[in-house]
């Protein structure tokens, strides 16, 4: 979600850098934790989604709603459905994708959804923006065209769906005046949806202690705390800079995948990343 800039509670440059870096690590951490849980433990994707959203809802309720006397009425059901769709698709896609590939597809789809919405609303594209969009499309084709290093198509499509859902969620919350409260309300509303999914897929449920722990950390810290910190950062920097900074998340996820999961970074992924992320940077800079 995006909020208007507010410089009334300024941070020192060191504080701003630290918060920004910690937030981006949290966002990348979601990819690492989800992939780690689904590959290294027996937890299923539906259970991971439910526990992640429930943990995020509880954390955000304690941090925002309870402390401020707020109400879950600050959230919206349509936004909660978009949040649930993102979280569920995210988990199921990571059954077969590496951390780096998943993060690249996710954040590429998020940015493309928001750029596409601007075009649909009548925003005219500059030459630089047109080149950037063409680069991003070429990068996606490079990543998904058949070959030995091609990620599974089904999982890739599901992750693209997760990115579109997150982009829609971002657009829906763009004008929120109290984004922390709205996010808390949305997490609370999305949790029953995730629990319903788990009940439908109860025959496949296989949560274990380690997997549950990863899901709790993903929900409470990488998601809940990550969003709270991100809103603090957004009040201090321009939206265009924030969008550009988010493109570092796939890189951080790739490094995390190498360190914690022993994943390999292929030439195809590197080439696709250059085109996709570079193209999006051109679009953002042109605006």
Tell me: the pLDDT tens digits for 203-257? Answer: 988 889 999 999 999 999 999 998 888 888 877 877 667 777 777 888 888 888 8
Confidence band, pLDDT 50/70/90 cuts, at residue 287: low
Neighbours of 199 (CB within 10 A): 11
Residue 201 maps to a domain? yes
Residue 8 maps to a domain? no
**Residue 281 is part of which domain span?**
13-286
Residue 25 maps to a domain? yes
Rounded distance between C-alpha atoms, residue 162 and residue 159, angstroms = 5
Rounded distance between C-alpha atoms, residue 261 and residue 254, angstroms = 10
Residue 5 maps to a domain? no
Residue 117 maps to a domain? yes
Hey, which of 63-67, 90-94, 119-123 has the most confident mean pLDDT?
Answer: 90-94
Mean pLDDT (the chain, rounded): 85
Residue 82 maps to a domain? yes
Domain count, the chain: 1
Q: Is the pLDDT of residue 65 over 80?
A: no
Residue 220 maps to a domain? yes
CA nearest to 98, candidates 58, 169, 149: 149
Residue 4 maps to a domain? no
């Amino acid at each position: 979600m995006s909020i208007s800039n507010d410089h009334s509670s300024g941070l020192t440059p060191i504080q701003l850098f630290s918060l920004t870096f910690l937030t981006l690590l949290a966002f990348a951490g979601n990819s690492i934790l989800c992939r780690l849980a689904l590959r290294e433990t027996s937890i299923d994707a539906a259970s991971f989604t439910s526990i992640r959203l429930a943990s995020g809802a509880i954390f955000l309720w304690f941090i925002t709603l309870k402390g401020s006397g707020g109400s879950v009425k600050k959230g919206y059901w349509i936004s909660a459905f978009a949040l649930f769709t993102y979280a569920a698709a995210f988990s199921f896609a990571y059954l077969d994708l590496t951390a780096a590939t998943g993060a690249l597809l996710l954040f590429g789809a998020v940015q493309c959804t928001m750029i596409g919405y601007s075009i649909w609303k009548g925003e005219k594209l500059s030459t630089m923006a047109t080149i950037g969009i063409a680069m991003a499309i070429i990068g996606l084709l490079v990543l998904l065209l058949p070959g030995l290093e091609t990620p599974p198509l089904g999982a890739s499509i599901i992750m693209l769906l997760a990115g579109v859902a997150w982009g829609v969620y971002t657009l829906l919350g763009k004008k929120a005046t109290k984004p922390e409260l709205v996010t808390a309300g949305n997490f609370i509303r999305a949790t029953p949806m995730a629990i319903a999914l788990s009940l439908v897929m109860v025959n496949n449920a296989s949560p274990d202690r380690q997997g549950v722990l990863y899901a709790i950390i993903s929900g409470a810290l990488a998601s809940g705390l990550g969003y709270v910190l991100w809103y603090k950062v957004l009040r201090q920097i321009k939206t265009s800079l924030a969008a550009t900074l988010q493109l570092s998340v796939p890189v951080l996820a790739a490094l995390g995948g190498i360190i914690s999961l022993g994943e390999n970074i292929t030439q195809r992924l590197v080439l696709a990343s250059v085109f996709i992320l570079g193209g999006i940077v051109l679009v953002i800079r042109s605006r």
